[in-house]
Chains A and B, each alone.
Chain A
Amino acid sequence: MDVKEIKQQFPILQQEVNGSPLVYLDSAATSQKPNNVIEAVSDYYRRYNSNVHRGVHTLGGMATDGYEGAREKVRSFIHAPSTRNIIFTRGTTTAVNTVASSYGRANLQEGDEIVLTPMEHHSNIIPWQQAAKATGASLKYMPMQEDGTLSLEDVRSTITSNTKIVAVTHVSNVLGTINPIKEITQIAHQHDAVTVVDGAQSVPHMRVDVQDLDCDFFAFSGHKMGGPTGIGVLYGKKRLLEKMEPVEFGGEMIDFVDLYDSTWKETPWKFEGGTPLIAGAIGLGAAIDFLEDIGMENIEAHEEELAQYALQSLRSIDGLHIYGPKERAALVTFNIDDVHPHDAATALDIGGIAVRAGHHCAQPLMKWLNVVATARASFYIYNTKEDVDALTDGLIKTKEYFGDVFA
């Protein structure tokens, strides 16, 4: 895998920021977009923009083919059995909300438990808080090991016969922890609970096979994998989706409409009320083509190498604390003694290095770590060891600067 050649295909990365070449280390927030994605979106608007599933005319057919073709690309990418399992959403947040609002509210009642982990992103916590409030079910958090991993013994002792839903992230956006989804799902299924997996940080970076994981629902976003913002995916098992009611009602999702009652299309279309983000879906399809051309195995190997190199480099900086386990996805969350993460992020930005600072939409996890905020560098297919070196160098200078101030 030729990273320099890959980077060439991302126009945004060819610029200078504050007088230095841009070093983009915030892909866990959103990834940059390759030329073929930008062109696919532009080509749709220039050549065949039309509404889907209704036009008899030629362009309507092309738009429908583009949109449904993207669904097939997603199906194949995550190894789902059928395109009927693939619902297009606005992103991971909407996908989780769809499960919580539809499946959750219909199947939960007082005495039931929703099991979560302390490392969830807000988008996999708040929909469940709301579903619990609406149904009288309760939330229950698994304990976490000191290094930010889950132990299967804890998973076993937390999930009980009262558990109806287990909502867990595949990869933590803060700790980089890769959770054992297959094993967790097995345990959940022994108790007749369903698993809802937040795959926002896994699908862009590793080969995901939803049938092998055997999870019941799986959610992810297009914009973290080279695709446009505003498009995401909810995968669900067919027998569950078939029983679920839509969350949004209106155009596009109906079968027959009468004055006082209506019926819905079949899944997945009954969940896609309104004109969908057609260009976004087509762009996501192009992003999948891009990733598959490189090969997910190659991407995994590249990122594993970067993650370990970054860990090793940052560990050499005195007074820098790294959160999360050794075995991790390609991101490093850290703090420097006496330097607030915002101040560190501003100092790095002056050198053209973009990192995230704050709570990373994981306030409960910040509490667990006993910090108010952290800085995070996250890597993707276009990042190199030189980028890690720039980060390390920038952090050493930042530490010197603030060290002088505090001296």
Chain B
Amino acid sequence: MSLHSNLDTLYRQVIMDHYKNPRNKGDMEGETLHVNMNNPTCGDRIQLQLRVEDDKISDAKFVGEGCSISLSSASMMTEAVKGQPVENALEMSNIFSQMMQGEDYDDEKYDLGDIEALQGVTKFPARIKCATLAWKAMEKGLDNEEEEETD
């Protein structure tokens, strides 16, 4: 059935697995960086919690509500950036953004793992914002942290 095959382009098994069993979902203990980000047009909202030590993301968690694309992307993103130096995490965010624009991207520099399953989103332009929400939150959080340091 065409509905199924078309939907399968978007909702790959691995995406639905992250949606059903999100990794790194929940609140973090102790001193952390909190970033709230929402998509005002649709009501999706996530709160990303990052712990940055020695310019490295030592832990990442999220809480929030949203569609399968935004929540699975948050789950994948936290998995991917955990343990990465801030600089690398920002570079990964760039790569993800290129992937979402349908542009060529470097798929070798980092282990993107499950994230590449989100490529199908490019065929559904209305849903790209869902996929990028968590990444935007991370960028905002890391940006603010830099500002705080330079203050």
Interface residues on B, range: 20 to 34
Most buried by A among B10, B41, B67, B127: B67
Q: Which residues of A contact B (CB under 8 A)?
A: 18-19, 340-343, 346-347, 349-351, 357-359, 363, 366, 372-373, 394, 397-398, 401, 405-406
A375 to chain B, nearest CB (A): 11
Q: Does B43 contact A359, Cβ atoms closer than 8 Å?
A: yes
A244 to chain B, nearest CB (A): 32
- State A394–B4 Cα separation when bound (angstroms): 11
Cβ of B20 under 8 Å from chain A = yes
Q: Does B42 contact A346, Cβ atoms closer than 8 Å?
A: no
Q: Which residues of B contact A (CB under 8 A)?
A: 1-4, 6-7, 10-11, 16, 20, 41-45, 65-69, 124, 126-127, 130
- State A349–B16 Cα separation when bound (angstroms): 19
Q: Is the interface of B mostly helix, strand, loop or mixed?
A: helix
- State A366–B67 Cα separation when bound (angstroms): 16
Q: Which residues of B contact A351 (CB under 8 A)?
A: 3
Q: Does B68 contact A358, Cβ atoms closer than 8 Å?
A: no
Q: Which residues of A contact B42 (CB under 8 A)?
A: 342, 357-359, 373
Q: Is the interface of A mostly helix, strand, loop or mixed?
A: helix
Q: Does B67 contact A340, Cβ atoms closer than 8 Å?
A: yes
Q: Does A366 contact B43, Cβ atoms closer than 8 Å?
A: yes
Q: Does B16 contact A405, Cβ atoms closer than 8 Å?
A: yes
Q: Does B7 contact A350, Cβ atoms closer than 8 Å?
A: yes
Q: Which residues of B contact A406 (CB under 8 A)?
A: 16, 20
- State A406–B67 Cα separation when bound (angstroms): 14
Partner of A350, one of B6, B65, B130: B6
Q: Does B2 contact A363, Cβ atoms closer than 8 Å?
A: no
Q: Which residues of B contact A401 (CB under 8 A)?
A: 3-4, 7, 11
- State A233–B16 Cα separation when bound (angstroms): 46
Chain B, Cβ-Cβ closest to A356: B42
Contact A342:B130 (CB < 8 A) given known A359-B43, A363-B43: yes
Q: Does A358 contact B3, Cβ atoms closer than 8 Å?
A: no
- State A189–B44 Cα separation when bound (angstroms): 41
Q: Which residues of A contact B43 (CB under 8 A)?
A: 358-359, 363, 366, 372-373
Q: Does B20 contact A343, Cβ atoms closer than 8 Å?
A: no
What are the 9 tightest A-B residue pairs by CB atom distance, in nearest-first order?
A342-B67, A340-B67, A358-B42, A359-B43, A373-B43, A405-B16, A372-B65, A350-B6, A372-B43
Q: Which residues of A contact B41 (CB under 8 A)?
A: 358
Q: Which residues of B contact A343 (CB under 8 A)?
A: 11, 67-69
